[in-house]
Each structure stands twice: as structure tokens, then as C-alpha cells.
Structure 1
Amino acid sequence: MIIALVPDKTLRIWDVSTGYCVKTIRGHADWVRDVCPSPDGRYLLSAGNDQTARLWDISLANPESKLTLVGHEHTIECCALAPPSTYQHLAPLAGLKKPPPASSTAEFMATGSRDKSIRIWDARGNCIKTLPGHDNWVRALVFHPGGKYLLSVSDDKTLRCWDLTQEGKCVKTLGDVHGHFVSCLRWAPGIVREPVSNGNAEGTNGTSINGIAKPGAVGADIQIRCVIATGSVDLNVRIFAN
């Protein structure tokens, strides 16, 4: 499936195999700026010029808005669904004694706005944390796969790292990562690590890794790669690695 954002304020879901639009989602009062699907494909988070973010259940024939997030004072440029690995760190901010089950895929969300702030929300629509610090529009967000950090980039040309184990404290700022506005951010996909069968192994990307078998064996886990990529109005893509 492909999700398209169109100027008529709708979201459209397309079936790649047929090329047909299979669902049209209406609800935003202005252009939609960003979307983030849940890993299981059931939910879709969207955000836009109407200063709201909305959580949709797209498993239904007629997708329904399950939640509307209101609080930003300007256009919401980006949104992200928190992975289950963050739940243990975000649950205390939401006043929960224990984290939600990992099987639940839309318990916490983050949004970034032209009001220069980042907000973290719970599944009831409450803003549980506001992260100030950027000096210009927040353009993109991504959660660390291990759940400890949230990364953001902005028109202030910085990349910031927020520690979710410290209630969202900004623990690292990289200044002037580009010569112009930083518009997008991605975390490198993990490498599937498999049980060793014969001492020779490969990761899912085809690169040989000592002590890892080919994907497909039972017992695989994911090796997180500390590699991120940023894109900018300066026409460059930059890759950062730890």
C-alpha cells in the first residue's frame, strides 16, 4: 500500500499491485503534511496545516478517526508513532504504573510543529510532555529503535537528541548539520541477526557478519545500527554514525 497526501485535505491509500485508490480518508480541515503508519498496518497517524494530528483506524472499510490531538499553535509539520520499546520510558509521563503491552501499536505519539515545539501524546489524547528547544520549525522526528531517544531536525539547522529516560531532556545538539533548513531524518534499518548454524553467516542486507546465519531461522533478533541520514534544502544528504 502507498499513502498519498493530496491538496484536497484528504489522505488516499493506494493498492500497489493494482494501482487503484482503495480508501479515501477525510477529516482534516486543511492540507495534510505528514503521516506515520503503525508497524502492524492497523493505524495511521496524520498531521497538517489545521494544527491537529489524527489517529485513524485504517483496518476498517471506512477508516475512522480514533483520536484528535490538539494543542500546537501552528502547522504540524511531522508526526511519529512511538515503538513499543519506548513504552517503559513514556508510561511514567502518562501517569501509568506499568507500560502498555508491547502488542499495542499506537499508545504514544510525537508531533513537531512550526511553533518550534515537539509534543508527546498518550492514547487518550493528552499531551504528556512538551519539548522546547528548537529555534525554528521542527521538520522531522524519529524514535530510536531501542526506545531510549527521540531525534528531531529543524529549520534552525540542528539535530537534537532527546532522552526519554530523563523525561525528554535534550542531551545532545548538533549545530549546523547542514547549510540550510534540515527537512528530513531517517534511522537506518536494523540488521536481522540469526542463530549460528555453520559459522558462516549473512545479514538481511547480504553483508557477511561473523557468527550470524542467513535470515529465516527461528530465534532471530534485530541488531540496531547507530546510523542516521538527514536531508536538507541545501541539496545534500548527510549520514551520521556512532
Structure 2
Amino acid sequence: MSASWDKTVKLWKPNKPLWINYLEHQGEIRGIAFSPDQNRIVTASRDHTLKLWNPQQDSIISLEDHEDGVSTVVYSPDGQFFASGSRDETVRLWNNQGENFRTLDGHTDWVLTVAISPNNQLIASGGLDRTIKLWRKDGTLITTITEHERGVLDLAFSPDGKYLVSSSRDQTIKIW
């Protein structure tokens, strides 16, 4: 699968020509994620929307709750929800029906990255405000980490969930 600044998503099969060229946004696509069961695809776009696509059912739901460009999207390991981060300084949690069931509000600049812990209970977010925020799935802010000198570009939990790693525009990688 590929997502592009040409506003399209293309699905490919190995050793075959283009399989499906289907999903389009009005703005460049900044993030894309498959559900763990591979039945859904969600895309994030600068057009302020996410699109939740079920290729088997040929259905697309446009999710329009963000107030600015959406920069990242990630599925939970259990496939029960996904999280998006946006230039509107929020992280939003969505169920598989496309309903925004929680908004995590606390960043003071563009949210660039979101990660979900292996047990699906913690959400980490980072962005241009140089902070990493660790949230419970219920929306409780656990802590704010302010150790980076520039924007946080990417976050990932270790497979056992004991560590969180961050990368930043300050040219560092830190393990928490």
C-alpha cells in the first residue's frame, strides 16, 4: 500500500500491477495505517480529515472532527481503536465505526506522532511543542516529558511495553 502527496492511496499485490487505486483526499496524505486484521485502512490528510476504508465491503467513512491538518494515524495492537494527531494540537481516539470517543487535549503545537502501547492502555503523543505526553486510554494525562530541545518526530513502544523511544528534530533519540 502506498499513500502520496498526490492525494491518493494505492493498493498493490506483490508481483502484480496496481491492484486498486481508490481512496482520495482533497489534500496530501500524511499518514496511513492498516488494522491488525487487515480489514480496514485509515488515512490522515492535510485536508483536516481521516478516511476509514473497508476494501472488502467497498465502504469509506470520512471523519471530520479535526479542525486542522491531520499528520499521523496509528491502529491499536488489538485493532479495537485507532488514534490520530493533528495540527489542531489534539490527539483523537476513534472506534472502528468512525466515532471519535475521546479527545486528548494538552499539546500547544502541532501533534506529529502518536504511539499506542502493546497492551492498548497507554497513548504517547509528541509534536512541535517539544513535549511527549503519556496518556491513559481513558484520557487521563499521566506525565509530560520536556527533555527534547526541538519537535518530537516519532515515538514507538518496545514490544513488551516497558520502554518508549522518541526521535526529535534536535537530532537525538531517547529511551524512556
Above 0.5 in TM-score?
Answer: yes
Identify unmatched segments of 5+ residues in structure 1: 85-104, 190-223
Contact kept in structure 2, 1:160 and 1:173, CA below 8 Å: yes
Contact kept in structure 2, 1:139 and 1:154, CA below 8 Å: yes
State the partner residue of 1:131.
104
Q: Which protein has the bigger helix share?
A: 1
How many angstroms does 1:38 deviate by?
1.0
1:55-106 Cα offsets, whole Å, 9 max, x none, are 112346xx541x221111100111122333xxxxxxxxxxxxxxxxxxxx3x
Which of 152, 171, 175 is the aligned partner of 2:142?
A: 171
| CA radius of gyration, larger in | 1
State the partner residue of 1:110.
83
Identify unmatched segments of 5+ residues in structure 2: none
Which of 22, 25, 34 is the aligned partner of 2:19?
A: 22
Bigger drift between 121-130 and 73-82 goes to 121-130
Q: 1:77 aligned to 2:13?
A: no
Amino acid of the residue matched to residue 143 of structure 2? K
Amino acid of the residue matched to residue 183 of structure 1? L
The 1:75/1:237 distance shift into structure 2, 3 A limit, reads: same
Q: 1:183 aligned to 2:156?
A: no
The 1:174/1:19 distance shift into structure 2, 3 A limit, reads: farther
Amino acid of the residue matched to residue 73 of structure 1? E
Structure 1 segments, 4+ long, off by >3 Å, are none
Q: Distance in 1 between matches of 2:97 and 2:7?
A: 24
Q: Distance in 2 between matches of 1:225 and 1:160?
A: 16
Number of residues paired by the alignment? 176
Q: Distance in 1 between matches of 2:165 and 2:30?
A: 20
Q: Distance in 1 between matches of 2:98 and 2:161?
A: 32
Amino acid of the residue matched to residue 33 of structure 1? R
State the partner residue of 1:44.
41
How many angstroms does 1:234 deviate by?
2.3
Amino acid of the residue matched to residue 175 of structure 1? T
How many angstroms does 1:20 deviate by?
4.1
How many angstroms does 1:232 deviate by?
1.8
Question: Secondary structure in 2 aligned to 1:26?
Answer: strand
Q: Distance in 2 between matches of 1:4 and 1:180?
A: 29
- Identity among equivalent pairs (%): 27
Q: Which protein has the bigger strand share?
A: 2
State the partner residue of 1:231.
167
Contact kept in structure 2, 1:41 and 1:59, CA below 8 Å: no
Contact kept in structure 2, 1:52 and 1:70, CA below 8 Å: yes
How many angstroms does 1:147 deviate by?
2.0
* Aligned pairs for 1:201-212 within 5 A: none
Amino acid of the residue matched to residue 7 of structure 2? K
How many angstroms does 1:11 deviate by?
1.0
Contact kept in structure 2, 1:158 and 1:173, CA below 8 Å: yes
Q: Distance in 1 between matches of 2:28 and 2:6?
A: 7
Question: Secondary structure in 1 aligned to 2:24?
Answer: coil
Q: Distance in 2 between matches of 1:146 and 1:114?
A: 27
